[in-house]
Structure 1
């Protein structure tokens, strides 16, 4: 096989030699023709003969190469390969003048890729030179090559064997240098040849600039020049290139701008379409909800009408009361209330309404109760029935007459402070259970603070609601709404203005200045936010801090009450008040509960936004607040259910307990006021349970007792729930019109002359009670309920069923256990107050230490009870003094 290569090489050399001779002959003939222009020679025949000879030689050469390439070749051994590689390289370097030597290159079919690669490697190794030594350098000046330059002629002559491929690479390099106006480029000849061989097949598609510049000896200078911004436009065709570039950039900018505009319009169209679909869907859902709520409202009104028509029959027959102690406050109020579920469960003592043998109670609880609480109330109800000498069957039936249900939605929405009606609305299993329990029975719902979901629950259960419609309750349950009802009932209210929505603080200052000018006897002014409750949204400011008050009071006494009532005399005082009121309020106004509104600025912001009431605090040092619970029956009658004098804790504007029955107002006076309020509510379609807050004091100038109505809650109150427990454990009856709590004593047996047993009617005795429904102590959480009761029993804190006096507790939750209720019953009011205060003191001492006092309202309540006791003693002494001799 090596012989084949050798013969091939010799034959190729012969072909090359013949072709060179023919080319030389052609050149000589052209010279002869130039010298002998006048002579006629047959050049065409000679030229055709030469071309024919070239074609024959080329054909034979191609046939030979075809024969050689189709033969199966065997690579030589490694040793022979290295030897022959060196020989070929030496041969090529020693004979670089053959221009067509590439015709001798041998190519194999694709199946012999390894052989082809070997030949390519041989060719590449044949032109390899040291990278830092250039034997054939030449120079390109301003993109032009001097063909007569010695260095270029030497390079061209040396690599004429590869010139056909080198020429294309050289043209690309020259074109690049012209386009970028490169003044001087030093080309490495060997690098150019190597680049031409490497990129023989690929560079025509696009020569890489960096690779092409790498063959230059001063490549770093040229590359820096080529990469300089704008350099392309300084060279050959730079103006046209700049114009093309500008046009392309502009077209790209126009096209991208149009594309972005299209994208924005497409996005806007999509957004508008989605918004429109959402709006349409929301409108459709809103209309469906409105229609559903309207249908629920119509059904509620229809059932309420049926309830009103048959109320007398319902009250005298078996009935089931569904108690839902829901606090339907607005969401903004609910989310800020800590322990919202416990607040709703404070009225768990509604269970005690089963003391009426015709009543069954379904109590919906806002959170899970522990077994100890369930056992406590079950035992309490059983013991009260046992003491009433009821047979065992009736006792067991009494226990079966109340059911406590917890909506399953409590487990899913425990962190959202949702009102109980909403939780029940989303609890289908509990609703189904209630439907099964009331199936075939007369039933109605007693809710809490009205909410729109009350209608949904009532419609789902198909029962009426004993209460006002949510919209009516929303109007009249505000501070302004309650004041309008009191004014309509023609009862006394504190001086002030209601239904005020202030857009500007100056308007508030004008109203306040006018009220202060007309009521000099008032020493403190109250500001009440309409939507707040339990003293949360109340602030106060004392007139004594006003610097001009003494001067204004002197002016008032100088002119006298009648003359001072004229406007022109009041005007200087009014203007002086207007000047000083802003600073006076900013410095001395205080919110009643600092944890709700930390300062006057925060309170004022809410007050101006929501509006409210400005009214006077009673002008007396001895002020008593009362709570009266009324039942506005659907049939049109008003019944007083409970009445008591309030007890206060840390906040003097919030009630945490009361003494029952009330003793501060004559019962007939109180009854008259309550009947007027009840009738005014019925005229406004308010039915159900309402709670009225009154305040009483003595006018120092006339020594006349005044009674003001200050607040109205359209709900079943916690005070009424505790009163139900009081009546349950004592078996008594609260006669609000007579102002007495009548308790039957146990029956006694007497032996008659005929030795038969005759039973006397149990005698009725009067009792007094102290109720605390909002007792709080953070240290109570350290004791479980059974431990707490053992501790109380050790100190003799318990209730004596025989004597109908002692202490009873109300439990609200099983987790935190910080809130409890307590009732003390005694033969007189002083004894009940003392027992209540002693119980608080003992409990506080048992669960507290010098280092761990805890947060509590026990201390303030004890202090308030001491003040009441002192006033009670003074009233007794005064009564004894006024008694005729």
Structure 2
């Protein structure tokens, strides 16, 4: 065995001397009064001390390492082992509690990125126990990390800076310093204990300067040993090993006891980053004092993750949640802190409470002021916007009124010009713009089904071209298919009229069918045709090109304000009254007033009913005064053709039989006295509301499904209550006449009405009329036309009359029941009848005359020279409906009719002619049956309906049709005609 070198170690003395120099330096620094004026701190003194310390440590460390490397270790003798009384402890550091040098290396690499360590500058690392006079060295080949002298110097400077007093803390400088002359208990005990060999002592947490990022480790075990060696130093005895491994200390009432063992151990563990720890502790203690936390235990292990991994030195402060996470008893602390008002029990609580109260008050005051301001601002905005909208609305209203007034003035000027030149226009070539518009109110239009088809029923206006001087531009409310266009083209061509159904701008034919482009933009709005044409600039331009340089005027339907707009745009007159006049006198109530002024007898009734109480009182009074009337009708002002009418029979009134007894008891003269009728009227008034609800029937249920719906619309639009003629045989007839602008009156069509479901549902007419004498009819029409002209009504007017035999006098009575202003459906179908037969309606004879068929012995020229004519009768069906018709295309329908010999014979002027209305649904058609006598026309019409019904009848589908009802009514009429003939023969 080699001899053990016996020389005295002076390395520990050097370390003691260094510590003494540092203490002396600290004492000198402490004597400097920074507050004194002119006092300065000499940095050179610090620099000299650090340099001297560095050189001395380097020199002695090199000598010591050389001596240790040459020293041979001698194992103790075997016989000496039992004599040893000192227990040898093996050094087994806990690898789980070791700090991660690799993560610290990255952090220090960022902190000391300017310092680079070269591999050749390797120096030995000494871990010493200063107070125990025992030094432990590591072998040089196992010490892979290299510490540069400049880095060691920076570490010593950093430790010196941590010893300087911090004015922000609440403890003094002396309380935070480790003074060399004062020894802790663990240090004093360590001097009385025997020395231990390398690896036998326990390790206490002491931090040396961290290694640069360029340091490399050979393998995983070497790295773990180096980390354990460089991070831990044996400093305490066996009984204090547990305190060395723990880093928890207590904060009482927000203050730290610097002399407490736990805090001293904690400070020794974090001395390498004490500046960051102090800043964290400052914030933590301040937070605990603010919330008056009596006891808080700080978990030092969290500082390992918090301090090295966060750039706390560069941030202002940590969040409260982060600070509370450093506590072991954070659950109790958070429970205490979360108590209401706990913040105001701690340090500065009164100021914080005052600040909070003032802030809340200022917030409430400012918030209230802002809400008041915001409310006033919103109110001002609403008022200003309302006023602006009101002003704009008034301005637009004024502009519209001015525009309407201008259009009305233009209409009147053009009407005067039309009246002055009417005779010249009638005798010269002219263009008629037919617009079959139904300008009803919006509510009425929205509640009407198939409104476009109803407007297109008058497509037979095309037959006005039978006058050689007339060209027709027909505005169609629906898109017609090629089948319908080809049908009317062939029909008009066969009857000697050139035609064109194409929309070519260069066509010069005598009629043109145009569909406004706005039909595609408003498919579900049920807008009247005039409005659609108003919003169709392309169609208006095309009409302008067609009428340029020609006499032209507009023939409309039911008047609407947009008629004036269209006429103003086209700069043509309207053959009709002003829209306001038409809407005033074209209603049921207006017709009653005109008939009364014309001296025509009207049914007992009352017009302009707009309230429910008014309806009850009026009805009770009428029933009382007209006790023989069995049925009362309720008509809406804006309805046409008798549709959408309700009726109720008085036989359902419980007091009606009692009223008849009163009438028979008092007699006709005394019964009409006021005191008798007042009592009867009171009885009626009590029963009428219930009577109307349970016994009122609707003539046609296409629009309204119940009495309540009908009554709601009746009171909104206004209506008429009038009596139905008190007879079983009542004949209704319609007369169409033209009130020319020049003042003349021309009768254009007359015929008895053909009814459907009841006498109020008009589906067609029988031409010519047979129920009223011609002279009486002419007189009535002239009187009505004279009153209409006084009301500024011109154009086409239809008069509806009802004739029956009064059983009390056995004389014929004629009541005026309906007045319609505008081109009627009957007149449109009459034009088609005259076009198909080439005949005329002779006003003087009252007959429907057609040219006599040409025989073989008589040429056409001779027949024309002799004016040979023959009379015909025609049954015209305008609104014939069958749901199964939609299953057949028009081509198949005509083939079916031809197969069943349903066609028109042009030579004989007998047969059947159809009118088609639409290409999509195809469920509504018009039909005209012509024959030599009335009985033959009725039979032909009924047979045609029966054959068509049998051909399209389907057993799988339930049809909706009025064919059966019309056939039944025609059969009743035929029976009546046969009975009349038999009576005449007898």
The verdict on a shared fold, with TM-score over 0.5 as the criterion, is yes
Would you say the 8 A contact 2:798–2:819 is kept in 1? yes
Residue 697 (structure 1) aligned with residue 804 (structure 2):
yes
Match of 1:395 in 2: none
SS of 1:868's partner is helix
Q: CA deviation at 1:613?
A: 1.1
Q: Distance in 1 between matches of 2:243 and 2:800?
A: 107
Q: CA deviation at 1:510?
A: 1.4
Distance 1:782 1:170, change over 3 A: same
Between 770-779 and 506-515, report the one with greater CA deviation. 506-515
Would you say the 8 A contact 1:526–1:615 is kept in 2? yes
Candidates 736, 745, 750, aligned match of 1:643: 750
Between 584-593 and 569-578, report the one with greater CA deviation. 584-593
SS of 2:312's partner is coil
Between 599-608 and 482-491, report the one with greater CA deviation. 599-608
Q: CA deviation at 1:86?
A: 12
Candidates 632, 644, 647, aligned match of 2:739: 632
Candidates 22, 30, 41, aligned match of 1:19: 22
Between 843-852 and 285-294, report the one with greater CA deviation. 285-294
Distance 1:105 1:184, change over 3 A: closer
Match of 2:566 in 1: 457
Distance 1:115 1:576, change over 3 A: farther
Q: CA deviation at 1:849?
A: 1.9
TM-score, L = length of structure 1: 0.85
Match of 1:100 in 2: 160
Match of 2:932 in 1: 827
Match of 1:485 in 2: 594
Would you say the 8 A contact 1:630–1:641 is kept in 2? yes
Over residues 358-391 of structure 1, what are the superposed CA-to-partner deviations in whole Å (9 max), with x where a residue is unaligned?
A: 22222222222222222222222222239x9xxx
Would you say the 8 A contact 1:748–1:760 is kept in 2? no
Candidates 28, 43, 46, aligned match of 1:58: 46
Candidates 270, 282, 291, aligned match of 1:180: 291
Residue 587 (structure 1) aligned with residue 698 (structure 2):
no
Candidates 816, 836, 840, aligned match of 1:729: 836
SS of 1:334's partner is helix
Q: Distance in 2 between matches of 1:125 and 1:811?
A: 110
Candidates 339, 360, 365, aligned match of 1:254: 365
Match of 1:854 in 2: 959
Q: CA deviation at 1:450?
A: 0.9
Match of 2:496 in 1: 385
Distance 1:167 1:193, change over 3 A: farther
Match of 1:369 in 2: 480
Q: CA deviation at 1:401?
A: 2.0
Distance 1:251 1:66, change over 3 A: farther
Would you say the 8 A contact 1:382–1:399 is kept in 2? no
Would you say the 8 A contact 2:646–2:698 is kept in 1? yes
Would you say the 8 A contact 1:691–1:717 is kept in 2? yes
Q: CA deviation at 1:839?
A: 0.5
Residue 73 (structure 1) aligned with residue 117 (structure 2):
yes
Q: CA deviation at 1:255?
A: 2.8
Q: CA deviation at 1:876?
A: 2.2
Match of 1:865 in 2: 970
Would you say the 8 A contact 1:85–1:122 is kept in 2? no
Match of 1:405 in 2: 514
Q: Which runs of 5+ in 1 are unaligned?
A: 1-8, 28-42, 389-397
Distance 1:75 1:553, change over 3 A: farther
Residue 414 (structure 1) aligned with residue 523 (structure 2):
yes
Would you say the 8 A contact 1:643–1:736 is kept in 2? no
Q: CA deviation at 1:412?
A: 2.8
Over residues 130-179 of structure 1, what are the superposed CA-to-partner deviations in whole Å (9 max), with x where a residue is unaligned?
A: 99996132223343444555544554566566554433322322222222
Q: Distance in 1 between matches of 2:955 and 2:333?
A: 90
Q: Distance in 2 between matches of 1:383 and 1:26?
A: 131
Q: Distance in 1 between matches of 2:852 and 2:230?
A: 128
Residue 813 (structure 1) aligned with residue 873 (structure 2):
no
What does residue range 264-279 of structure 1 map to in structure 2 within 5 Å? 264-279=375-390
Q: Distance in 1 between matches of 2:242 and 2:972?
A: 110
Candidates 559, 562, 567, aligned match of 2:666: 559
Q: CA deviation at 1:879?
A: 3.0
What does residue range 710-725 of structure 1 map to in structure 2 within 5 Å? 710-725=817-832
SS of 1:850's partner is coil
Q: Distance in 1 between matches of 2:873 and 2:24?
A: 146
Distance 1:400 1:71, change over 3 A: closer
What does residue range 565-580 of structure 1 map to in structure 2 within 5 Å? 565-580=672-687
Candidates 842, 845, 852, aligned match of 1:745: 852
Would you say the 8 A contact 1:326–1:449 is kept in 2? yes
Q: CA deviation at 1:815?
A: 1.9
Distance 1:381 1:189, change over 3 A: closer
Between 131-140 and 168-177, report the one with greater CA deviation. 131-140
Match of 1:5 in 2: none
Would you say the 8 A contact 1:747–1:761 is kept in 2? no
Q: CA deviation at 1:470?
A: 0.5
Distance 1:381 1:12, change over 3 A: farther
Q: Distance in 2 between matches of 1:863 and 1:80?
A: 131
What does residue range 780-819 of structure 1 map to in structure 2 within 5 Å? 780-819=885-924
Q: Distance in 1 between matches of 2:967 and 2:818?
A: 25
SS of 1:368's partner is coil
Q: Distance in 1 between matches of 2:701 and 2:269?
A: 102
Distance 1:570 1:210, change over 3 A: same
Over residues 444-481 of structure 1, what are the superposed CA-to-partner deviations in whole Å (9 max), with x where a residue is unaligned?
A: 11111111111122122222111000010011111111
Would you say the 8 A contact 1:421–1:457 is kept in 2? yes
Candidates 414, 420, 442, aligned match of 1:309: 420
Q: CA deviation at 1:851?
A: 2.4
Q: Distance in 2 between matches of 1:828 and 1:124?
A: 136
Would you say the 8 A contact 1:318–1:359 is kept in 2? yes
Over residues 97-128 of structure 1, what are the superposed CA-to-partner deviations in whole Å (9 max), with x where a residue is unaligned?
A: x96386998799xxx99899x9xx99999599
Q: Distance in 1 between matches of 2:392 and 2:769?
A: 57
What does residue range 210-359 of structure 1 map to in structure 2 within 5 Å? 210-359=321-470
Match of 1:524 in 2: 631
SS of 2:331's partner is helix
Q: Distance in 2 between matches of 1:80 and 1:485?
A: 133
Root mean square deviation, CA, Å: 4.1
Q: Distance in 2 between matches of 1:839 and 1:780?
A: 14
Match of 1:141 in 2: 252
Q: Distance in 2 between matches of 1:162 and 1:803?
A: 126
Residue 448 (structure 1) aligned with residue 557 (structure 2):
yes
Candidates 717, 724, 741, aligned match of 1:610: 717
Q: CA deviation at 1:81?
A: 13
Residue 770 (structure 1) aligned with residue 890 (structure 2):
no
Q: Distance in 2 between matches of 1:723 and 1:608?
A: 35
Distance 1:877 1:230, change over 3 A: farther
Would you say the 8 A contact 1:750–1:759 is kept in 2? no
Corresponding residue pairs, total? 828
Match of 1:874 in 2: 979
Distance 1:495 1:114, change over 3 A: farther
Q: CA deviation at 1:235?
A: 2.8
Over residues 558-579 of structure 1, what are the superposed CA-to-partner deviations in whole Å (9 max), with x where a residue is unaligned?
A: 1111111111111221111111
Candidates 424, 427, 436, aligned match of 2:533: 424
Q: Distance in 1 between matches of 2:275 and 2:658?
A: 119
Which protein is richer in helix relative to its size?
1
TM-score, L = length of structure 2: 0.77
Match of 2:79 in 1: none
Q: Distance in 2 between matches of 1:232 and 1:781?
A: 86
SS of 2:969's partner is helix
